[in-house]
Amino acid sequence: MKWLVDEVYPEAEVIRVVLDNLHTHTPAAFYKTFSPEEARRLTQKLEFHDTPKHASWLNMVEIEFSILERQCLRRRLPDMAAVEREVQAWAEARNAVQATVDWRFTTSQAREKFHRHYPKVDE
């Protein structure tokens, strides 16, 4: 996080950090690691956002990264510039066809298959 604040985005007024449910980074963690002054300086630039507990959009991001790896990056590329060109071309092609995630289950199918995870409803 210090690297993000000081080196990657030193001019940013605020850096929005999206966290998964592990809660890896909290303002308290900065105070355990840095002096109070440094911790305050860093936390003033960071804005933490937790993902929802059942974040289907996060699943979609993971699916897209998997597709990117299979369709574009599962080969040797000579340098970082080539990786950037290939990823950009891949993203433009995906956006041009408006590719979306095709969920395999409807909500009712998912409830039937994973019934043990859903609370019982009195009928």
12 within a domain of the structure (yes/no) = yes
Same domain, 33 and 64: no
Same domain, 37 and 64: no
pLDDT value of position 42: 94
Gap between the Cα atoms of 72 and 89, Å rounded = 9
108 within a domain of the structure (yes/no) = no
From 97, 73, 95, select the one nearest 85 (Cα to Cα). Answer: 73
pLDDT value of position 121: 61
Domain holding 40, by residue range, is 2-50
Same domain, 36 and 11: yes
pLDDT value of position 122: 59
pLDDT value of position 22: 60
Q: Does 88 score more than 60 pLDDT?
A: yes
Same domain, 61 and 89: yes
Q: Does 84 score more than 70 pLDDT?
A: yes
88 within a domain of the structure (yes/no) = yes
- Number of independent structural domains in the chain: 2
For the chain, give the mean pLDDT. Answer: 85
Same domain, 46 and 84: no
Confirm if 43 and 30 have CB atoms less than 8 A apart.
yes
114 within a domain of the structure (yes/no) = no
pTM for the structure as a whole: 0.46
Gap between the Cα atoms of 43 and 26, Å rounded = 9
**How confident is the model over 21-78, as pLDDT tens digits?**
665 667 888 899 999 999 999 999 999 887 766 656 777 788 899 999 999 999 999 9
pLDDT value of position 92: 96
Length of the chain (residues): 123
71 within a domain of the structure (yes/no) = yes
**How confident is the model over 102-116, as pLDDT tens digits?**
777 777 787 787 777
Same domain, 87 and 63: yes
